[in-house]
Amino acid sequence: MLSKAQRRALELLTEAINKAGDVPPVCDHIPSNTRCVAESLWRDYCYKGQIANSDKPDSQRQAFGRAAETLLDMGRIGKWGDLVWITR
């Protein structure tokens, strides 16, 4: 089960991909025809989309880091280099 911050981070990743995602060149590490965004863009969406309970930069950075790491560990997102995508 996802926490509130993890759900919000996943929603914001979906939004970022829908608005700015691109299919990268063929790569053995990214599923073919998968739209991705740069992790930095997703991070910006999360900071602006309030995934933390505070506006303090440190709180936002920590909330994003925890959410991104957990979503990756759960297999909900994929990451290669700076590119991220939704896996399911």
Model pLDDT, residue 67:
97
**pTM metric for this prediction:** 0.94
Q: Report pLDDT digits (tens) over 4-21.
A: 999 999 999 999 999 999
Q: Helix, strand, or coil here: 15?
A: helix
| CA 19 to the chain's CA centroid | 14
How many domains are contained in the chain? 1
Residue 27 per-residue DSSP state:
-
The domain that contains 52 carries what CATH number? 1.10.10
Decide if 60 contacts 51 (C-beta within 8 A).
yes
Domain boundaries, position 74 = 4-86
